[in-house]
């Protein structure tokens, strides 16, 4: 595990995993993988289409397979996970034993502000009305934090600085 040097970015939909993951990978001189993009390329379909076609249960199996492949096939890589990745199929245990897990923490209020403009891209929140969306985010975040809080490092997604993150992960990678 030590020499694989994998860093996983986890957190709720819309917290900035892909954007910050790319910056961190660049700063560290690591490769970058977006897990959703990996799965979409594998199936040659958007995540929304995979979700709709196969349903959520099957999507979670597909997601775990993609995660396992990314872990097996890569070294020195920052991997941006999907919002639900750590919360299914004991993926959190696999993540913790395979590398450093970083939680990009954000409040339900901030997530709502970021998500309400772009619900269409995300199957779990597509077609939700304003009030319904806020309650959904709050409830789901509370459930998912049980998993996110098991990350190796927790950082405020609003205050994220790539140099600081580089320092935080460096002794561990
Ligand atoms: C999901 C988040 C999405 C994607 C899928 C399911 C979730 O990724 O994996 O739509 O369960 O929270 P992002 O967190 O990148 O939006």
pLDDT digits (tens, 9 = 90+) for 48-92: 999 999 999 999 999 999 999 999 999 999 999 999 999 999 999
* 53 part of a folded domain: yes
Domains in the chain, number: 1
* 139 part of a folded domain: yes
* 173 part of a folded domain: no
* 27 part of a folded domain: yes
* 102 part of a folded domain: yes
| Residue 99 and residue 5 in contact, taking contact as beta carbons nearer than 8 Å | yes
Question: Is residue 148 pLDDT above 90, yes or no?
Answer: yes
Probe ligand 1: pick from 14, 80, 115, 122, max atoms within 8 Å of CB?
Answer: 122
| Residue 4 and residue 73 in contact, taking contact as beta carbons nearer than 8 Å | no
What single-letter DSSP state applies at residue 119?
G
Nearest-angstrom CA–CA distance, 122 and 114: 12
* 33 part of a folded domain: yes
Q: What is the CATH number of the domain that holds 143?
A: 3.40.50.300
* 1 part of a folded domain: no
Range of the domain at 22: 6-168
Hunting for tokens 């492949």 — which residue is that? 69
Whole-number average pLDDT of the chain: 93
Probe ligand 1: pick from 35, 41, 83, max atoms within 8 Å of CB?
Answer: 83
Instruction: Specify the pLDDT at position 68.
Output: 98
Q: How far is the CA of 122 from the centre of ligand 1 (A)?
A: 7
Instruction: Tell me how far CA of residue 29 lies from CA of 99, 103, 135, 162, in angstroms.
Output: 16, 21, 39, 13
Kindly indicate the confidence band of residue 136, based on its pLDDT and cuts at 50, 70 and 90: very high
* 79 part of a folded domain: yes
């Amino acid at each position: 595990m030590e020499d694989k040097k994998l860093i996983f970015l986890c957190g709720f939909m819309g917290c900035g995993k892909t954007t910050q993951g790319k910056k961190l990978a660049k700063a560290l001189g690591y490769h970058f993988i977006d897990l959703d993009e990996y799965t979409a390329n594998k199936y040659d379909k958007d995540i929304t289409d995979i979700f709709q076609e196969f349903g959520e249960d099957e999507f979670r199996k597909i997601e775990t397979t993609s995660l396992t492949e990314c872990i097996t096939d890569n070294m020195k890589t920052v991997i941006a996970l999907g919002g639900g990745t750590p919360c299914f199929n004991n993926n959190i245990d696999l993540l913790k034993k395979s590398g450093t897990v970083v939680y990009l923490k954000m409040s339900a209020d901030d997530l709502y502000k970021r998500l309400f403009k772009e619900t269409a891209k995300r199957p779990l929140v597509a077609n939700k009305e304003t009030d319904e969306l806020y309650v959904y985010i709050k409830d789901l975040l509370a459930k998912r934090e049980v998993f996110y809080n098991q990350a190796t490092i927790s950082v405020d997604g609003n205050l994220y600085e790539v140099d600081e993150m580089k320092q935080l992960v460096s002794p561990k990678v």
